[in-house]
Amino acid sequence: MEDVLLQLQENSAQVVVPLELPTEDQLIEVEEEILIPIPVEMREFMLKTGDIIYGTLEPVTVADPQSHTFLPEVAANVWADGVPREFIPICVSDGTYYVISQDGEVLLWSLDQGEATEEWSSIWHWAKDVWLES
């Protein structure tokens, strides 16, 4: 985990208006909005990487309700598209849905097949294998 976080931080793009890290209170507010708990590992991931801009993928955020990556909005769209409500989106890119289960497993959800087509054992493994490679 620490090596992935360090790589992301070192390579994060510098932008004019940087993202902010979320607070625990913001995470709680988002949980209340989406009516499902955020898995522990995803909470930690968001608290540590929520301000990182890297590569072509944009993981969900909770610090700015106006952002196109704001978790409640992304979740509503993903669920409306047919992803089961038990999964929380972590990233959406060009019709690709990366979601996390309550036990912390990350899945690549296929709308065409109605099931996961790839999986990672944790959000940190996903970050290493997918986000850092984007």
d(CA 52, CA 8): 7
Query: With contact defined as beta carbons under 8 Å apart, do 106 and 125 qualify?
Result: yes
Report pLDDT digits (tens) over 40-58: 999 999 999 999 999 999 9
Domain spans, the chain: 2-131
Minimum mean pLDDT range among 14-23, 76-85, 101-110, 117-126: 14-23
d(CA 124, CA 3): 10
**Record: fold of 2-131:** SMI1/KNR4-like (3.40.1580)
* Backbone Cα Rg of the chain: 14
Q: Is pLDDT at 15 greater than 80 in this prediction?
A: no
**Amino acid identity at 114:** G
- Please give the mean pLDDT across all residues of the chain: 93
* pLDDT at res. 16: 66
Supply the pTM of this predicted model. Answer: 0.92
DSSP symbol at 127:
I
Query: With contact defined as beta carbons under 8 Å apart, do 34 and 75 qualify?
Result: yes
Rounded alpha-carbon distances, angstroms, from residue 33 to 6, 58, 71, 76, 97: 31, 21, 9, 10, 20
